[in-house]
Amino acid sequence: MCGIVAYVGPKDAAPILLEGLQRLEYRGYDSAGVVVSNKGLKLRKVKGRVADLAKVVPARFKGGLGIGHTRWATHGVPSDENAHPHLSADERIAVVHNGIIENAGELRAKLEADGVTFLSETDTEVLAHLIARAADENDSLEEAVRKTLKSVVGTYGIAVIDAERPGEVVVARNGSPIVVGIGEKEMFAASDVAALVRYTRQVVHLEDGELAVLKADGFHTFASDARETAKEPLTVDWDAGHYDTGGYEHYLLKEISEQPETMTRTMSGRLDERFHVAHLGGLNMDARETRSFRRVKIIGCGSAYYSGQIGAQLIEELARIPADAEPASEFRYRNPVVDPDTLYVAISQSGETYDTLAAVQELKRKGGRVIGIVNAVGSAIAREVDGGIYLHAGPEVSVASTKAFTSTSVAFALLALHLGRVRDLSPADGRRVVEGLRRLPGQIEEILAQGDKIAELAKKYADHPSMMFVGRVRGYPVAREGAQKLKEISYVHAEAYPASELKHGPLALIGPDMPTVAIVPDDELLDKNLTTLGEIRARGGRVLMVGHREPEAKLADDVIVIPKNEIELDPILLTIPLQLLAYYAAVALGRDVDKPRNLAKSVTVE
Predicted confidence at residue 143, as pLDDT, reads: 95
Cα–Cα distance, 370 to 343 (Å, whole number):
6
Label residues 386-408 b or e (16+ Cβ within 10 Å = b). bebbbbbbbbbbbbbbbbbbbbb
Predicted confidence at residue 503, as pLDDT, reads: 84
Nearest to 82 by CA among 53, 107, 119: 119
Q: Which of 154-168, 183-197, 574-588 has the highest mean pLDDT?
A: 574-588
Amino acid letter, 423: R
- Ramachandran assignment for 519, one of left (phi > 0), alpha (psi -120 to 50 degrees), beta (any other): beta
Predicted confidence at residue 379, as pLDDT, reads: 85
pLDDT for 1 beyond 90: no
Predicted confidence at residue 606, as pLDDT, reads: 60
595 is catalytic: no
Average pLDDT (499-505) is: 88
Predicted confidence at residue 507, as pLDDT, reads: 87
Average pLDDT (128-139) is: 91
pLDDT for 301 beyond 80: yes
Predicted confidence at residue 309, as pLDDT, reads: 98
Give residue 276's pLDDT band: very low, low, confident or very high (50, 70, 90).
Answer: very high
Q: Which of 129-133, 220-224, 395-399 has the lowest mean pLDDT?
A: 395-399
Give residue 2's pLDDT band: very low, low, confident or very high (50, 70, 90).
Answer: confident
Which residues have C-beta within 8 Å of that of residue 392, sequence separation ≥ 6? Answer: 262, 265, 266, 268, 375, 407
Cα–Cα distance, 125 to 69 (Å, whole number):
14
Q: Which of 272-276, 407-411, 601-605 has the lowest mean pLDDT?
A: 601-605
Predicted confidence at residue 602, as pLDDT, reads: 63
Neighbours of 515 (CB within 10 A): 23
Residues in the chain, overall count: 606
Predicted confidence at residue 62, as pLDDT, reads: 92
Cα–Cα distance, 19 to 22 (Å, whole number):
5
pLDDT (tens digit per residue) in 61-76 = 999 999 999 998 888 8
**Average pLDDT, whole number, for the chain?**
93
Average pLDDT (494-500) is: 93
Predicted confidence at residue 282, as pLDDT, reads: 92
Task: Provide CATH 3.40.50.10490 ranges for the chain.
Answer: 251-589
Predicted confidence at residue 197, as pLDDT, reads: 87
Task: Provide CATH 3.60.20.10 ranges for the chain.
Answer: 3-238
Predicted confidence at residue 414, as pLDDT, reads: 97
pLDDT for 242 beyond 80: no
Give residue 237's pLDDT band: very low, low, confident or very high (50, 70, 90).
Answer: confident
Average pLDDT (432-448) is: 97
Q: What percent of the chain has pLDDT over 70?
A: 98
Residue 48 host element (H or E): none
Give residue 603's pLDDT band: very low, low, confident or very high (50, 70, 90).
Answer: low
Task: State the catalytic residue, choosing from 45, 403, 485, 601.
Answer: 601
Task: Identify the sign of the CA torsion 379, 385, 386, 388.
Answer: negative
CB 67 within 8 A of CB 169: yes
Task: State the catalytic residue, choosing from 2, 147, 254, 297.
Answer: 2
CA atoms within 13 A on the CB side of 525: 18
Residue 480 host element (H or E): helix 475-490
Neighbours of 249 (CB within 10 A): 12
Predicted confidence at residue 183, as pLDDT, reads: 94
From residue 183, give the alpha-carbon distance in Å to each of 157, 215, 242, 331. 21, 11, 20, 41
pLDDT (tens digit per residue) in 520-534 = 999 999 999 999 999
Q: Which fold has domain 251-589?
A: Rossmann fold (3.40.50)
Average pLDDT (369-389) is: 92
Nearest to 114 by CA among 128, 101, 133, 140: 133
pLDDT (tens digit per residue) in 320-368 = 999 999 999 999 888 889 999 999 999 999 888 889 999 999 999 999 9
Which residues have C-beta within 8 Å of that of residue 184, sequence separation ≥ 6? Answer: none
Average pLDDT (220-248) is: 85
pLDDT for 60 beyond 90: no
CB 37 within 8 A of CB 65: yes
Q: For 517, phi and psi rounded to 5 degrees?
A: -95, 115
Average pLDDT (298-327) is: 97
Label residues 441-465 b or e (16+ Cβ within 10 Å = b). bebbeebbebbeebbebbebbbebe
Strands 210-215 and 218-223: what pairing?
Answer: antiparallel
Neighbours of 222 (CB within 10 A): 16
301 is catalytic: no
**Sheet of strand 295-300, all strands in order from the earlier edge strand to the far edge:** 323-327, 295-300, 342-348, 369-374, 387-390
Q: Which of 39-43, 233-237, 517-521 has the lowest mean pLDDT?
A: 233-237
Question: How is domain 3-238 classified at the architecture level of CATH?
Answer: 4-Layer Sandwich (3.60)
Cα–Cα distance, 54 to 51 (Å, whole number):
5
